[in-house]
Structure 1
Amino acid sequence: MKEEIDNALLVLKKGGLILYPTDTVWGIGCDATNPDAIDKVFKLKERSDEKSLICLVNDFRMLNEYVENVPEVAYDILKYAKKPTTIIYDDPIRVAENIIAEDNSLAIRVTKDEFCKKLIQKFRRPLVSTSANISGKKTPQSYAEIDPLILEGVDYVVNLHHQKKSEKPSAIIKLKNDGSVKVIRK
């Protein structure tokens, strides 16, 4: 795993794209603070840049570095969630502008996946994590289902194919600073 982390880090530091296993599905990733890298993700996925992307952080400390005001309820939701849960927060900070939604929000998941946690910890920045598919097409449930265009379009494929079991996308909850809560995806 260490070699895969080191290889992915080299690509991320140069503004490249990686294909990597997450705590949910295989993801296309890049530095969430690099607008040029994020543009590459939108282009590869053939996705409108008006649609937002998800970021992964490795712990609550990092979450607090990239969200101006994390609502207290977020910690309880994440602590008791039975499955990977992404929360959409208001007022993200220190990330690339083109990853922030029009309503000044950003979807962030505190990953529990060992590879992702270690990669993010060494990189010291959040990673973009978007499903490894062309926009509008089915999300691949395994590495074998990933479109060849995606495989060819990234700069590095993390070689952990055998370790990744099929998972579903995360639950998504929107927490507004006014205290309102909205479930986007169960």
Structure 2
Amino acid sequence: MANTFVDREDINQALETLKNGGLILYPTDTIWGIGCDATNAEAVEKVFALKGRDKSKSMLILLHNDNQLASYVKDIPDVAYELIEATDRPMTIIYSGAKNLAENAIAEDGSIGIRIVDHPFCQQLLQRFRKPIISTSANLSGQPSAANFDEIAGEIKEGVDYVVKFGQQDTAKGKPSIIMKLDPSGKFEFIRK
């Protein structure tokens, strides 16, 4: 990541958009994402509509630290904290028993994918917003994920309410996170390495 300076006005605009139920296009610790308030069902619905995504496919949420997990997951196995601590790559963990989130953000089986972010813009935005943010790849459903800002389709850029300025010049190719499913018993399996 070339620049780690986060412009206050950029954060404020993204924050206002989220608070008003809008969609943002923003950089994450993996690839660019479409985001909204993960507790606002109408906002989540807009994300599905913009992507043309099947509603049976769940989305993931971002949190800024693992202390927040208990607010959104009923039972967190101790191994979850060890896995988060041990990884040196962005990792999304799918937990059973999601709670306090928009119903349409939660998978049909009651699970939710959560990633604790390590990204200057996301960290500050999540700390100030004080709620989880939806994160789904900035592409139309069925199309390849955009590896950087320049690869994002025009209809996605035009379909959101605010496009974050931070990271737009970064030409590095982002990669999706590791995905792991974690059972309440502590048993886990990799879904994507």
Same fold by TM-score greater than 0.5: yes
Give the Cα separation in 2 of the matches to 1:164 and 1:116. Answer: 18
Q: Check whether the contact 1:55–1:107 (CA below 8 A) recurs between aligned residues.
A: yes
Give the Cα separation in 2 of the matches to 1:89 and 1:54. Answer: 11
| Paired position in structure 2 for 1:120 | 126
TM-score (norm 2): 0.94
Q: Check whether the contact 2:149–2:170 (CA below 8 A) recurs between aligned residues.
A: no
Any idea what SS the aligned residue of 2:76 has? coil
**Alignment of structure 1 residues 146-185 onto 2, 5 Å:** 146-160=152-166, 161-163=168-170, 165-185=172-192
Q: Check whether the contact 2:21–2:43 (CA below 8 A) recurs between aligned residues.
A: yes
1:14 aligns with 2:3: no
| Paired position in structure 2 for 1:94 | 100
Give the Cα separation in 2 of the matches to 1:133 and 1:81. Answer: 27
Any idea what SS the aligned residue of 1:83 has? coil
Paired-residue identity, %: 49
Report the residue type matching 1:108 in the other structure: I
Give the Cα separation in 1 of the matches to 2:33 and 2:129. Answer: 17
| Structure 2: runs of 5 or more not aligned | 1-6
Give the Cα separation in 1 of the matches to 2:64 and 2:146. Answer: 24
| Paired position in structure 1 for 2:67 | 61
Between Structure 1 and Structure 2, how many residues are aligned?
186
1:81-106 Cα distance to aligned partner (Å, 9 max, x none): 02000000011111001011111100
Give the Cα separation in 2 of the matches to 1:134 and 1:64. Answer: 32
1:45 aligns with 2:51: yes
Which 10-residue stretch deviates more, 63-72 or 8-17?
63-72
Give the Cα separation in 1 of the matches to 2:33 and 2:84. Answer: 21
**Change beyond 3 A, Cα 1:164–1:37:** farther
Report the residue type matching 1:61 in the other structure: N
**Alignment of structure 1 residues 121-140 onto 2, 5 Å:** 121-140=127-146
Runs of 4+ in 1 over 3 A off after TM superposition: none
Report the residue type matching 1:176 in the other structure: D
**Change beyond 3 A, Cα 1:90–1:164:** farther
Deviation at 1:164, TM superposition (A): 6.5
| Structure 1: runs of 5 or more not aligned | none
Give the Cα separation in 1 of the matches to 2:104 and 2:63. Answer: 18
Deviation at 1:166, TM superposition (A): 2.2
Any idea what SS the aligned residue of 1:162 has? coil
CA RMSD of aligned residues (A): 1.0
Deviation at 1:153, TM superposition (A): 0.3
Deviation at 1:163, TM superposition (A): 4.3
Q: Check whether the contact 1:57–1:110 (CA below 8 A) recurs between aligned residues.
A: yes
Any idea what SS the aligned residue of 1:182 has? strand
TM-score (norm 1): 0.97
